[in-house]
Structure 1
Amino acid sequence: MPTTLSLPHLPSNYRLHIALFTSVTNAAHLHSQLLAKNPEYEYAFIDPSILVSHLQPISACFRAIRDLLDPDVGLRTPNVHSETVFSLSPTHNITDSYRRFGISPSSAAVLAIKILDTSLASYSESNTLERLTSIVEGTEVDFDTKDIRKLTDLIKVKKYYKLKDMGYVDQLYKKKGRNIEEKSEEEAWRDLEVAVLGAMALRSLV
C-alpha cells in the first residue's frame, strides 16, 4: 500500500503519494515516457539505490514544493516532480541530477512519488493510488528506511554526494572519546544520512 502524507510547514492541501517497487520490469517504458514528456507519466521516478533513508526523498519533495510556492524562487525544472529529482542533488547540474538520481531504462527498483494539490476539483485519492500502484510493473514493498537500505549502493551515494572522505565524522567520535570501531551500524547509517541531507540542503548556498 502506498504511503500518503502531508508535510509540516507546507500548505496542508499538498499531499505526497509514495510507493517503492523492486523487481521492476517496465523501467525502459517509464524512462521513455519521461523523455517524451508524457503528462500521464508526470511522477518523480527515483533510483532508490542512491537513498539512505525515507527522509531523503521526503526532504526533496519538501524543497520542490516550497520552491514551487515561493515566487522569489520558483522551479528550475519543468514541474514539481522533476524538481523533486533535482532536489536530491548536491549540485546545480540539472542534467546530471536526472541521470544520477532518476531512473534509467535498466532500473530494477523504482521509488515513485506523485505530488498533488488536494484542493483541485480533479483530485481523487483513490484514483491516484490506483494509478500509482499500476504505473510501475514490479513488486511493491514498504516505503521505510529498512527496505530502502536493502537497495542502497553505498559506493554511488558516497561518490554522488562527495563523501569519500568521512574524516570529519571520525573526528566527532574521537572528540567523544570513542574508538571509530565502536560505532554501531545504526550510528554509521545515521552519520551518512546527516551528511547526505546536509549536502542536499547546502546546494542553495553554493
Structure 2
Amino acid sequence: METHTFHHVEPSQSQAHVVLVQDVQNAQAVLEDVKRGGEKFGEMPMALIDAKMICSSSHLLVSIHQAILRNARKIDGKTTGLRTKSIHSEVLWNLSITNNIAETFRIFGLSDTTKDLLLIHIAHSPEQGGPRAKDVLQKMQSIVEGDITQEGLSVLDSWQGDESEQRMIDWDAICKAYKLGDMTVSHNDIDDSTIDQVDVEQTIRKRIDSIVTSLVAMKFVAS
C-alpha cells in the first residue's frame, strides 16, 4: 500500500491510502455489499476503481488530488466543492468526462467481473485524528480477497517497461470512455522511421495517458 500526503491542502482530509489488489476473488460479494450501503467498510469508506480503466499513477493521483481540493472548498465551515455525496465518490466522478455519476460508476467502478481493483481511502493524517496506514491496509485486506501488490503505484506504470511485467489495461475501453476515437498511429506520425512496432505501441499509450490525465485535471477547472 502507498500513502500520499497532500501537505498543501488544509484543513481538509489530506492523506490518500491506495492499494492495488490483483486477481480479485470476491468481486461480486464486495459489489453486493456496496449496493447494500457498504456495511463491511463501516467507518472507513473507500473509492473502488477497476484498475483496467487507469492508464498510470498520474492518471489516478490527479483524480484523487482534485477530489481533495474540492473537499477543501468550504464556506461557513461547510463543504461546498464536492459534486457528489462523498470525497470517495468524487474520485470516480473526476475520472469521467460525463457528469452522470451512475454512468461513471458503471465505467470506472467495481463490477462483478473486476479482476484488478484499486481501493482508496482518504482521511486526515494520524496526527489529525485519522487512521494509521497499517489499520487501513488491514481493513482493505478484510474486505477484498486477492493479491495485494508489493510494488505500490509503480505497477500502474508497468506498461512503460518490460512487456512481461505489464498489467492488464483496457486501452480500447479507455479510448471509448474518453471519446478519443481512433488513437492508432503509423510510422509517418513519428520522426524516426526506423522505430519498431513496440515503440509505436508505446507512443500510442503515452499519448492516451497524457490526454486522459489532462482531461481529469481540466474537469476540476471546467466544473
After TM superposition, the score normalised by the length of structure 1 is 0.84
CA distance in 2, matches of 1:16, 1:186: 29
Q: Which runs of no fewer than 5 residues in structure 1 stay unpaired?
A: none
Q: Identity of counterpart residues, as a percentage?
A: 24
Mean Cα deviation higher: 71-80 or 87-96: 71-80
Q: From the superposition, tell whether residues 162 and 133 of structure 1 become closer, same or farther in structure 2 (CA, over 3 Å).
A: same
Mean Cα deviation higher: 102-111 or 194-203: 194-203
Q: What SS does structure 1 have at the residue aligned with 2:37?
A: coil
Question: Partner of 1:54 in structure 2?
Answer: 57
Mean Cα deviation higher: 61-70 or 23-32: 23-32
Q: What SS does structure 2 have at the residue aligned with 1:83?
A: helix
> Counterpart of 1:32 in structure 2: which amino acid?
E
Conservation of the 8 A alpha-carbon contact between 1:53 and 1:149: no
Q: Which runs of no fewer than 5 residues in structure 2 stay unpaired?
A: 160-164
Residue 116 (structure 2) pairs with residue 99 (structure 1): no
Conservation of the 8 A alpha-carbon contact between 1:20 and 1:111: yes
Residue 157 (structure 2) pairs with residue 158 (structure 1): no
How big is the shift at 1:127? 1.4
How big is the shift at 1:88? 0.8
CA distance in 2, matches of 1:131, 1:58: 21
Matched residue pairs, number? 201
Q: What SS does structure 2 have at the residue aligned with 1:5?
A: strand
Question: Partner of 1:134 in structure 2?
Answer: 142
Mean Cα deviation higher: 138-147 or 152-161: 138-147
The alignment yields a C-alpha RMSD, in angstroms, of 2.8
Once the two structures are superposed, the pairs formed by residues 23-102 of structure 1 within 5 Å of their partners are: 23-38=23-38, 40=42, 42-71=45-74, 73-102=80-109
How big is the shift at 1:149? 5.1
CA distance in 2, matches of 1:57, 1:135: 21
Q: What SS does structure 1 have at the residue aligned with 2:74?
A: coil
Conservation of the 8 A alpha-carbon contact between 2:10 and 2:72: no
Q: What SS does structure 1 have at the residue aligned with 2:137?
A: helix
Q: What SS does structure 1 have at the residue aligned with 2:214?
A: helix
Conservation of the 8 A alpha-carbon contact between 1:53 and 1:193: yes
